Each structure stands twice: as structure tokens, then as C-alpha cells.
Structure 1
Amino acid sequence: MDDTVNAFVSGTMVPIAGQAGGPLDGLSFAVKDLFDVAGLPTGGGNHDWALAHPVPQRHAWAVQTLLDAGASFVGKTITDEVSLGILGENAFDGTPINSAAPERVPGGSSSGSAAAVAAGLCDTALGTDTGGSVRVPASFCGLYGIRPTHGRLDTTGMLPQAPSSDTTGWFARDGETFARVSTVLLGEAPGALPTRLLIATDAFAFADPEVAEALQPMVTRLSRIVGEVREDIMAPQGLSVWARAQRTLQPVEAWNTFRQWVETANPRMAFSVVAGLLNGARMPEGERQWAEMMRLEARARLRHLLPPGTILCLPTTAFPAPLRGLSQPVLQPLKDRISCLCAQGGLTGSPQVSLPGATVNGAPVGLSIIGGRGTDATLIAVARAMGEAA
């Protein structure tokens, strides 16, 4: 199969057969180039990273789990440099094509994985999500995508960025495939449906009016599936305050992760990536301490909002995917708005699923559902039910 959307590293698809007879037998998968695949370099979206690190001899846990379940590996996908990006544009490898809106970015940093699934080049694909890197491309490309409960999945063999927020995630085009893959990776079948739905009024008000309107039929369908519905505010301190806290903690951890490599290898990097790392290097300690306290407040808020049997919904992104090739001054305010609807993932560690089903001017936008920590299987059950009801 040809790489028609520039989703794969060097345009190369390298097959590895899965174990016959497993629950995912017959499915194919790709992996973001942050996961180790034995015998292939882990490039991390930066050519100097691959040169500075040995070729892995073992598969990452998530890769091995999918192979053992019968899914067949088809190749490694493009990522924003060392996962430090949210739009999917890579100065080294280019920008994968968003099949759902070819003139627009696919979203990042799991850009290649989302593009490959959206184009039908594989059935599912692994990504990572620290500040939105599965949820955002799922929304922009019209896919199912999950950020599981933080710490639930083994991240052995996955290149870290900010460990207190990093998660493995995955994409699918349809709810049934999404449920099959999720059952294997979570080690748990879809659970019982929730009985209460909260609508995050602050998040819907923050989104573009066209997005909020486009998502209303999905919210109505979700309401019928769940039953009891009420409105509430997700972030009483302010969505931008939660985003500021995440944008404080994440760069500090990223700098700690990549500092030795940057200082010893002096790698070639895009300006936007360097700027992000320098932001972390220069972060005042007082700001970091404030952000840690805000993280505790955010976690307490979601524990209060999401007792067993309750989920919350909100727009995954405030707008559809931006056009490709925009300048940094134009993109930065858009990135800031993206983080306002994604910060709760890294701050609270709660599971979140982005559901496809709405468009604005022909471009996809996703509806997200969030549950309490450990309720991943409940969200998968809702995703499957939403797919069946579409």
C-alpha cells in the first residue's frame, strides 16, 4: 500500500505480522515514531535524535501488546519533533495530509498516526498524548481518539516528554474497531453506560459559536444514551488558568527530559521547538510551584464533578483544523486556545475520548467525553454506543 498522505517516516511501510488467532487478527496498525519497534530507529521526529540513540532491540509494550493480540504492524508514523507540537507540521519530515480537510493541518504531535488512520492506510494507530496530541488530531481528522487514565498503561519503550502528563493513546475510524483495540490495550471490556451527563458550559462558550452549534446534535444523541443531564462549569478558576498551569509544568518537564541531549549534541531543531524548550529552562520556580497547586485544585474539581456513573462532555477543540503553512505569530494564539480545552488531561490525569461526527464548513470537529480516573471502559462503551446510534 502506498503512503498517499505522507503519514509514514520516509514514506516507508514495514510490515510485521501479528500473532494469528488473536482478538485483533485481521487488523493493521501503525505507531508514532516515539515507540520502539525492534530493528527500526526511534526517530522522535528529529533526525539528530535518531543519530544520537541506538536502534532498539525490543518492541515497546504497546507495540508488543497489539502484535500479541493479532494486529499486524505496517510502519512508523511522522510526529512533531520530540512530540513538542500540537498542529502536526514537522520541519524535517513535512506535514501529513489530513484526508478529511486536505488544505488544513492534521493536528499533532500524533499527526502521522491520525493521518494514516483517516486515509484508511491502517485500521488503528498508536499516538501519545501529553497536552492534547491524540485528542487534537482526532478532532481535526474526524476520528475516535483516547487519552487513557494517566499511569494506567505501561509506557516502556515510549519516548517521554513530560512524564507526569504523558500517556499512550490510539485512533480508529469506527466505534467497533475502537472498542476492540481499547479492550486489548486497557485489558478491560467496555463497561456499563453512565447514568449522568454533565455539559461543560464554560467549554462550549469558549468554542467558536459554529463549533458549539455543530456539536449540538451529538450532545442530544449523547443525552439520550446516558439519561440524566445537567449543565456545570468544568474549570471555575478559568479555562485559561488551567491552561497556564499545564503550559508551566509541561515545558519544565520537557526541558528536564531533553536537556542533556540538547546541551551535548546541539541538535538541529525548528525555532518553535527551541522556543518551547527555552521556556521550560527559564521557568521561575515560583511559577512552577503555583502550577503544582493549580494541578491539585483541578484534580479536586474533577473528582467532585465526576463520581461513579457520571461523565462530562465538551468540545475537543474550539475550532476546526487551521490552514497549513500559517506563520508562527498567527498560530500562537490558536495554540493557546487549543490548550484551554486540553489542559485538564495533563493536569488531572482523567481519561478522555474524542468522538467524531460533526463538521464546520466541511472540516471535522470532535465532541469529548471525560470520566473519573479509571473509568476508561465506561467511556469506550459510550463511544461504541454513539457509533451505533449515528
Structure 2
Amino acid sequence: MTNSTTDAFLPGPRYRLSPAASGPLTGLSFAAKDLFDVAGTPTGAGNPDWARTHPVPQAHAWAVGKLLDAGADLVGKTVTCEISLGILGFNQFFGTPANPAAPGCLPGGSSSGSASAVAAGECDIALGTDTGGSVRVPASLCGLHGLRTTHGRISFAGVCAQAPSFDTVGWFTRDAATFAKASAVLLQEPIPAPMAAPLLVAEDAFALADAEVREALAGAVALLGRVLGHAPQGVNLGPAGALVAWSAQRNILQRHEGWRTFRDWIDAANPRFAFNVARNLTLAAGFTDAQAAEAASVRQQVLARARGLLEGGAILCLPTTPFTAPPLGLPLAALDALSERISQLTSFAGFAGLPQLSLPLGHAGGKPCGLSILAWHGQDTKLVAIAEAVERARH
């Protein structure tokens, strides 16, 4: 099997692993971001020197094994931003996967290849990771269902880490029914029947989005309210300026952890990096333990606010991304500004360890944009059930 026309898969010949037995996912195919170990195949982590300096894995990552055991066929490894450091989906060494839902535009990252492959119909399910938004963002920009799981809910065994207190496993599909099948396997819990729940609308998050995105998602919010049996209720995630401040503190803590993860390898291997990745690692190396401790204290504030909003069973919604897919070829300064805007919407769930599911419910200017639903810790399957109910209500 040759590489796809989307450049979603790693360059070179592809392979197929078929399961030993049938299961609930028989007849479906999946791909895995090149952070997930596949036994006997090098893990490249999006960097030209990672595989050279790490042994070939002898066992599958936990999530890869679960999908194979459930009967799905693995059809290849997908491109990722270098060592998962990126939110818009480009890779200087292996190329930028196409965005089939918005040709000529970025797919979102760092699980960009996984989202591209699913959006193009080259597989039914794809595994990604979400540390700062790397499943949620490409799901929004490519018009997919994409879940960031509750932190710690899914085993990270056999996956290249970045920032351990943020890292989560997630996945993409094109439709809610397939998403529910995959989710039941990976979450190891049946998907419940949807139940009525209060719907909270994060007005400060919507205020950060482009007007066309707000308009595109207005009908989706109303539909969600009907599905949940409650009129949408406006709330603010925090006081004025909180989303910008929380984003900055999340950035410090995540980068501090990322530097601790990669510094020994960098010191030993002196690997090659694209400029933007090398620059961000250099900045991360400068954050002090005191700065990280201050950011961790801010995390406790975000967690307390999330508990107050969601622990009682409410569902929170907000735009997944503040804009639709940006065009290819933007200068680095423009990409940095876009990444900062995205972070203001993704940091709430990341800091609080919440599950967040992006639903493909909006289109603006001919390009998709996602509406996210969030719930309290451990309520991942509740979000999946809502996604199924919303899709039924639309058809």
C-alpha cells in the first residue's frame, strides 16, 4: 500500500495489521499518530532523530492494542508535529497533512495526520494525543468528532509523553455512531442513554471567537439545548481577562514539564529541530521551578471553578477554536498569534483535566468549526452519548 494523497501517513510504504479475532470494531480501520508504539515498527515522534535514538518498540501502545483486540485493522502511522509541540499541524521534516474539509488550509495539530486521514476517508478511526488541544483543534478545523479524555482515564503506556500532567489519549471519527463504538472500547464502559442536563454556555469563550464562528455555532447551541432538555444558560468561565491569564499560566506549566521530559534526550542526542520547535524548547528551558509552582497554583483556581460549574452534572459548551482553518503559508509570527488565540479556549479543560468533545456542528465561510461540550471528570461516555443524540436530532 502506498502513501495517501493527503500526506496524512508517514512517507514510504504503508502496512496493515489485522486482528487475530473479530470483535465490536470488526470491519473498521484505524490509524495511529506517530507517538503511539506499534510493535516492530519505529516510533518517530515527528522528528528525524527520534527513531534513530530510541529502540524499536516490542509491544503495542495500550490504545493500539485495545483497538486491535476489538477487531479493527491498523492501516498505518500518521504524521505529527515534532515531539507533539504544535497546535496548527505543520511539520518541517515530514510535511503538512492536507485538510480535506478546507483545501489549502492547515489541518490543526499536533494530531494533524490522524485528523487528515479520517477526514479523507482513509480510515474510520484515528488515535491522537491531546496535551494543549491537539485532538480538539484538528477535530474542529477538519470537521470531525474528537475527544480529549479525562486526564488519566486512558492509559498512556506506549505513547511518547510531553507534559505528563496534561497528556491525554484521544481519537477521531467522521460520525457519532462510529465514535461511540470506538469510545466504548477505549473507555471500557458502555455508552449510556443520553439524559437531561443543564446546558451552560461559556459567554467569555464565545466572545473570543470570530463573529462568523459565533454565528455558525448559534444554531448548534440551540439544538444542544433541545437535546439536553434545558434552555442554554450563559455563564463566564472566569472574571474579566481570566482566559488570557489562564492560557499564559498553562503555557508556562506545560512547557516546563515538556522541557523536563525532553532535556536529557536533547543533551545526549543533539537532535535536529525546526526553528519554531527549537525556539519553543529554548523558551521552555528558561522557566523556573518557582514559575511552574505559581502556574500550578493557578491550576487549582481553574479546577475549583470547573468543579463549581460541572460537578453537579451540567454540560458546558464553547467554541472549540476561535476561527476556521487558517491558510497554508502564513509567516511564523502570524502562526504564533493564532496559536495563542487557540490556547485561550483550550486551556480551561487542559488545566482542569476535563473531558472535552468537539462536535462538527458549524460551517463558516465554507469551512468547518466545532462546538465543544465539556463535563466533569470521568463523564467521558456521557459526552459520547450526547454526541449520538445530537447527530440523531440533526437527521
Distance 1:83 1:335 in 2: 14
Corresponding residue for 1:31? 32
Deviation of residue 194 (structure 1)? 4.1
Deviation of residue 384 (structure 1)? 0.7
In structure 2, give the amino acid aligned to 1:315.
P
Deviation of residue 331 (structure 1)? 1.1
1:126-145 counterparts in 2 under 5 A? 126-145=127-146
Deviation of residue 11 (structure 1)? 4.5
Deviation of residue 12 (structure 1)? 3.2
Identity %: 54
In structure 2, give the amino acid aligned to 1:356.
P
Q: 1:343 aligns with which of 316, 323, 347?
A: 347
In structure 2, give the amino acid aligned to 1:287.
Q
Q: How large is the RMSD of aligned CA atoms in angstroms?
A: 1.1
* SS state at 2:11 partner: helix
Distance 2:333 2:306 in 1: 33
TM-score (norm 2): 0.97
In structure 2, give the amino acid aligned to 1:256.
R
1:241-320 counterparts in 2 under 5 A? 241-320=245-324
Contact 1:19 1:69 in 2 (8 A): no
Distance 2:316 2:349 in 1: 13
Corresponding residue for 1:72? 73
Distance 2:380 2:312 in 1: 12
Q: Rate the CA distance shift 1:194–1:152 in 2: closer, same or farther, 3 A.
A: farther
- The answer to whether 1:217 aligns with 2:205 is no
Corresponding residue for 1:230? 233
Listed one character per residue, the Cα deviations across residues 125-172 of structure 1 (whole Å, up to 9, x for unaligned) are: 000000000000000000000000000111100000000000000000
Number of equivalenced pairs? 390
Corresponding residue for 1:204? 206
In structure 1, give the amino acid aligned to 2:322.
A
5+ unaligned residues in a row in structure 2: which ranges? none
Q: Which moved more, 1:9-18 or 1:197-206?
A: 9-18
Listed one character per residue, the Cα deviations across residues 1-53 of structure 1 (whole Å, up to 9, x for unaligned) are: 65110000114321000243201111000000000000110000001011001
* SS state at 1:341 partner: helix
Corresponding residue for 2:388? 384
In structure 2, give the amino acid aligned to 1:381.
A
Distance 2:356 2:225 in 1: 17
Q: Which moved more, 1:267-276 or 1:130-139?
A: 267-276
Deviation of residue 246 (structure 1)? 0.9
Distance 1:300 1:240 in 2: 18
Contact 1:318 1:338 in 2 (8 A): yes
Deviation of residue 116 (structure 1)? 0.2
Distance 1:158 1:208 in 2: 35
Listed one character per residue, the Cα deviations across residues 298-355 of structure 1 (whole Å, up to 9, x for unaligned) are: 0000000002321100000000011112111111111100000001222000000000
Contact 1:194 1:309 in 2 (8 A): no
Corresponding residue for 1:358? 362
In structure 1, give the amino acid aligned to 2:227.
I
In structure 2, give the amino acid aligned to 1:77.
T
In structure 1, give the amino acid aligned to 2:68.
L
In structure 2, give the amino acid aligned to 1:94.
G
Corresponding residue for 2:85? 84
Deviation of residue 235 (structure 1)? 2.6
In structure 2, give the amino acid aligned to 1:6.
D
In structure 2, give the amino acid aligned to 1:351.
P
Distance 2:20 2:184 in 1: 17
Structure 1 consecutive aligned stretches of length 4 or more whose deviation exceeds 4 Å: none
Corresponding residue for 1:375? 379
Deviation of residue 356 (structure 1)? 0.1
Q: Rate the CA distance shift 1:295–1:57 in 2: closer, same or farther, 3 A.
A: same
Distance 1:15 1:104 in 2: 29
In structure 2, give the amino acid aligned to 1:169.
G
